[in-house]
């Protein structure tokens, strides 16, 4: 039996979906007993040359052709962004169509509305492609690992910043130059804010944390620091300390208290996340029964993203054949609370510029001592014009203590600037 | 609604299942709308002290109490081995009970019989725990990655040999000593053959390959080499070459031609598998759409294995609530063929003992040259009593060529012994 599918959007991801469905037509039929057929593709410009070929009548510029066609059982959304994707998805769900989306912005910001609409309409929403590209993350968390209380998520889940930081590490170049190159190569968008300011990683962490911790979490719950302030100097100091800088997303659940953070982080080279380069993503998951798990793979790209979407499509086809829906519901536990500024104890890297004169370091050391922050490593370099640069790596200490020490430091006259503060993971403890 | 469950076996894994179900009772009910209740536990000796507590009537020594109780909807098998596990599972399936098993030996050797019996009876068999302990592998391969043609599997999937090889690397001790210690610590069984001869890894590879490559594959299809011949000398040479020795399971599908091998392998330290130590498992998967993926976690242990089993239990509960079965069928493609001795091109490590006299190395070099095997690195050490040890690392070469060269070498009078031949992965190419 043929199952009609509408595809919203035909950019990089949408083309990948068409290509993969064509390629796997036979296998999908054997697996599910049903033949998926993408009958309509919503595009802005039907004349635009594309890498995939269509039957003429497939292309449309009118979303109603898909949303109001009662024969279409499934809608795949690859437009991205909030509107009109949100309205289209809500209309599709209300019309009784199953929805598959790769739209992390939408799920992170309007996930509750979308899931509730789907539940009310008795249809499913799948979004494996929204986080981690090809890597199975959503479904393992929602299905395979459900016997666990998940306590920790930690990973690299934004490809653009990982590419930029990898290139900064390889070449020693500064952020702005590498960003420009990444934009020219198409690895970064012309407006890179969402990626380089950590918002994209924050949204993905919100999606993962909602599932893993059984909580309603949005971007607003995530403390986000981007990578714009990371300089070639930080990269060089990290190297001197045996580490690389990565944008790490981290979520913890301690007896219902959630902490959610996206921060540039010094990853010592003995830690597996140090070796996740360029466009790859990786996620650590700790469960109370399973222990530590890691998932690694391509976080973006046409076919990797299509791999996740078509995997979801096969799941919907299975549900259609079995005539079931809403098999896997998201559990929400009411007692979960988000705390801010109370991250797990960690070692911290602090880079400061201070007046280059006697007694300044003693002052700093005294302030750290008063805040009960002990130092593991200190690198001091003369810079220029009466300014010295100090890099401190602390012993393991709570985030609140570090914040206290930094607040005290910034009140000291001889401290010119606190350049960067980053947690350190890995390394002998 | 309560769902009655029978548990066969109450050793390490079975106790973990009881503990985890008790701990997660409330969460499982919220997730599935059903209350799992383990009403009967089959044990050999009801008097034996155990780490979990029972209601008295739960324990039984008679399997019929479970298999013939029509109220029991689900049977969890944690006995291990072929019989009586196989008969019990077949009877449970024929009686219309869903089955969850951690039994890799049984699935690898009798998987087809068990899956066909289940299909005939209209019930499901889940076995996530059979490979990779807590790591979600079976379900991602059967469900999330189904849009891919999987071309490569490569991993460390036996904890005992990984523990032994890790300890040999750390301590420089020989195989026999480390095995003895591992047996005393309970990391290796008193009869270690299944692990150290590579059969356990071979069975797990057969299970993974059956799913990933859509083929009927059993242990007989896997070329297996164990780790008994690995000596402290090999470990030391590997170290000199910047590598560690791991037991690597590898399966490839090249246009329907499958190659399945379990072999001790030199893993250069820049390769992620080099850092998978002790009881951890890791599996690389390459799909034509997804690209490279890696899954990592605890390969065994009471709660990690229970994590996978109770994850499967929740899946069965979902199916019971939706009144569906056989949602996910295993696809078998008829054109798949297993080839032997035709592994992918690789660099090879060869360690030989030869007569310590002029001209011998020239002879060896000539034989390698005739077989078109070129050498990348040669280490030659004088041993004792007219015997010299030669270690050769070849450039990348097909397995058939290496075999040809080795056959020619073994016919040379001055070659005393070919100690070990291992592929090399990782390292600059």
Query: What is the per-residue pLDDT across B188-221, written as a single tens digit (0 to 9) for each?
Result: 888 999 999 999 999 999 999 999 999 999 999 9
Asked if the Cβ–Cβ distance from B311 to A146 is below 8 Å, we say yes
Residue A146 with chain B: CB contacts under 8 Å:
27-28, 31, 310-311, 314
- Please report residues of A whose CB lies closer than 8 A to that of B213: none
CB A110 within 8 A of CB A116: no
Instruction: For residue A272, give the nearest of B143, B275, B295 by CB distance.
Output: B275
Residue of A nearest to B304 (CA): A290
The rounded percent of chain B whose pLDDT value lies above 90 is 85
Q: What is the set of domains in chain A, with CATH numbers?
A: 2-134+302-322 (3.40.50.720), 138-298 (3.30.360.10), 347-425 (3.30.70.260)
What ipTM is given for this predicted complex?
Answer: 0.94
Q: Mutate which of A34, A146, A323 to disrupt the B interface (most B C-beta within 10 Å)?
A: A146
Q: Count contacts between A and B (CB, < 8 Å).
A: 169
Searching chain B, which residue's CA lies closest to the CA of residue A326? Answer: B322
A31, A146, A272 ranked by CB distance to B314: nearest: A146
Contact call for A293 and B289, based on CB within 8 A: no
Are B292 and A308 a contacting pair at CB < 8 A? no
How much of chain A is in helix, strand and coil states, percent to nearest 5? 40, 30, 35
How close is the nearest chain A Cα to the Cα of B383, in Å? 36
Which pLDDT band holds residue B54 (cuts at 50, 70, 90)? confident
Active-site residue, from B154, B204, B246, B336: B204
Q: To the nearest whole angstrom, how far is the Cα of A418 from the nearest Cα of chain B? A: 35
Q: Which residue of B has its CA nearest to A28?
A: B147
Q: Which residues of A touch B298 (CB under 8 A)?
A: 290-293
The answer to the question of whether A10 is labelled as a binding residue is yes
pLDDT (0 to 100) of residue A185: 87
Q: How far is A22 from chain B (nearest CA, A)?
A: 11
Instruction: Count the neighbouring beta carbons within 10 Å of the beta carbon of residue B111.
Output: 23
Determine whether the interchain pair A145/B135 forms a contact, defined as Cβ–Cβ distance below 8 Å.
no
B70 annotated to bind ligand: no
Q: Is residue B202 a known part of a binding site?
A: no
- Average predicted confidence (pLDDT) for chain B: 94
Q: Test A296 with B293 for CB contact under 8 angstroms.
A: yes
| Rounded distance between C-alpha atoms, residue B175 and residue B167, angstroms | 9
- What distance in Å separates residue B55's CA from the closest CA in chain A? 23
Count the Cβ atoms, other than its own, within 10 Å of residue B169: 21
3-state secondary structure chain B: CEEEEEEECCCHHHHHHHHHHHHHHHHHHHHHCCEEEEEEEECCCCCCCCCCCCCHHHEECCCHHHHCCCCEEEEEECCCCCCCHHHHHHHHHHCCCEEEECCHHHHHHHHHHHHHHHHHHCCCEECHHHCCCCCCCHHHHHHHCCCCCEEEEEEECCHHHHHHHHHHHHHCCCHHHHHHHHHHHCCCCCCCHHHHCCHHHHHHHHHHHHHHCCCCCCHHHCEECCCCCCCHHHHHHHHHCCEEEEEEEEEEEECCEEEEEEEEEEEECCCHHHHCCCCEEEEEEEECCCEEEEEEEECCCHHHHHHHHHHHHHHHHHHHHHCCCCCCCCCCCCCCEECCCCCCCEEEEEEEEEECCCCHHHHHHHHHHHCCCCEEEEEEEECCCCEEEEEEEECCECHHHHHHHHHHHHCCCCEEEEEEEEEEECCCC
Mutate to test the interface with B, among A21, A143, A302 (most CBs of B within 10 A): A143
Residues of A in contact with B311 (CB under 8 A): 143-147
Mean confidence (pLDDT) of chain A: 94
Examine the pLDDT at B56 and tell me if it is beyond 70. no
Mean pLDDT of B124-147: 97
Predicted pLDDT at B428: 62
**Alpha-carbon distance A14 to nearest alpha carbon in chain B (angstroms):** 14
Q: Do A291 and B315 touch (CB under 8 A)?
A: no
Q: How confident is the model at residue B276 (pLDDT cuts 50, 70, 90)?
A: very high
Weakly modelled stretches of chain A, pLDDT under 70: 55-57, 428-429
Query: What are the catalytic residues of A?
Result: 204
State pLDDT tens for residues B221-259: 999 999 999 999 999 999 999 999 999 999 999 999 999
* B145/A136 touch (CB, cutoff 8 Å), yes or no: yes
Mean pLDDT of B24-52: 91
Nearest to B143 among A139, A146, A304 (CB): A139
What is the structure's pLDDT at B153? 98
> A376-385 in b/e burial notation, b at 16+ Cβ within 10 A?
eeeeeeeeee
Rounded to a whole number of angstroms, the distance from the CA of B354 to the nearest CA of chain A is 39
Residue of A97 and B1 predicted with greater confidence: A97
Contact list, A318 vs chain B (CB under 8 Å) = 327-328
Q: Confirm or deny that B14 is annotated as ligand binding.
A: yes
Nearest CA in chain B to A144: B311
| Record: contact B135-A293, CB cut-off 8 A | yes
Contacts of B40 (CB under 8 A, 6+ apart): B6, B7, B58, B59, B60, B65, B66, B69, B72
Chosen from B102, B132, B144 to mutate, greatest number of chain A CBs within 10 A: B144
Tens digit of each residue's pLDDT (9 = 90 or more) over A288-334: 999 999 999 999 999 999 999 999 999 999 999 999 999 998 888 88
* A9 annotated as ligand-binding: yes
pLDDT tens digits, B338-366: 999 888 899 999 999 999 988 898 999 99
Residue B278 has pLDDT above 90, yes or no: no
Q: How far is CA B389 from the centre of its chain?
A: 33
């Amino acid at each position: 039996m043929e199952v009609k599918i509408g595809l919203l959007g035909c950019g990089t991801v949408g083309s990948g979906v068409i290509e993969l469905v064509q390629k796997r037509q036979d296998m999908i039929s054997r697996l599910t007993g049903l033949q998926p057929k993408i009958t309509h593709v919503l595009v802005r410009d039907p004349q635009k040359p594309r890498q995939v070929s269509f039957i003429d009548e497939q292309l449309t510029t009118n979303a109603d052709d898909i949303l109001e066609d009662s024969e279409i059982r499934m809608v795949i959304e690859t437009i991205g962004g909030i509107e009109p994707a949100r309205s289209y998805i809500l209309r599709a769900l209300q019309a009784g169509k199953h929805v598959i989306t790769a739209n992390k912005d939408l799920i992170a910001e309007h996930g509750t509305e979308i899931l509730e609409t789907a539940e009310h309409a008795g249809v499913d929403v799948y979004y494996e492609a929204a986080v981690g590209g090809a890597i199975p993350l959503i479904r393992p968390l929602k299905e395979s690992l459900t016997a666990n209380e998940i306590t920790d998520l930690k990973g690299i889940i934004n490809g653009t910043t990982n590419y930029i930081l990898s290139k900064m590490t390889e070449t020693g170049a500064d952020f702005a130059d590498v960003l420009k190159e990444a934009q020219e190569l198409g690895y970064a968008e012309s407006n890179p804010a969402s990626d380089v300011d950590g918002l994209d990683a924050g949204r993905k962490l919100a999606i993962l944390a909602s599932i893993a911790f059984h909580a309603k979490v949005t971007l607003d719950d995530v403390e986000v620091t981007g990578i714009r302030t990371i300089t070639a100097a930080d990269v060089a100091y990290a190297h001197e300390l045996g580490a690389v800088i990565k944008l790490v997303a981290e979520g913890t659940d301690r007896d219902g208290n959630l902490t959610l953070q996206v921060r540039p982080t010094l990853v010592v080279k003995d830690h597996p996340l140090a070796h996740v380069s360029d466009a790859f993503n990786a996620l650590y998951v700790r469960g109370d029964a399973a222990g530590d798990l890691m998932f690694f793979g391509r976080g973006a790209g046409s076919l990797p993203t299509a791999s996740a979407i078509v995997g979801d499509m096969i799941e919907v086809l299975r549900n259609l054949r079995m005539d079931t829906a809403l098999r896997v519901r998201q559990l929400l536990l009411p007692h979960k609370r988000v705390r801010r500024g109370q991250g797990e104890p960690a070692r911290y890297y602090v880079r400061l510029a201070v007046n280059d004169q006697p007694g300044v370091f003693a002052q700093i050391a005294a302030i750290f001592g008063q805040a009960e922050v002990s130092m593991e490593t200190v690198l001091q370099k003369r810079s220029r014009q009466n300014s010295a640069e100090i890099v401190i790596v602390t012993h393991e200490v709570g985030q609140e203590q570090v914040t206290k020490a930094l607040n005290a430091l910034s009140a000291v006259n001889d401290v010119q600037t606190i350049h960067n503060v980053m947690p350190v993971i890995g390394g002998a403890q």
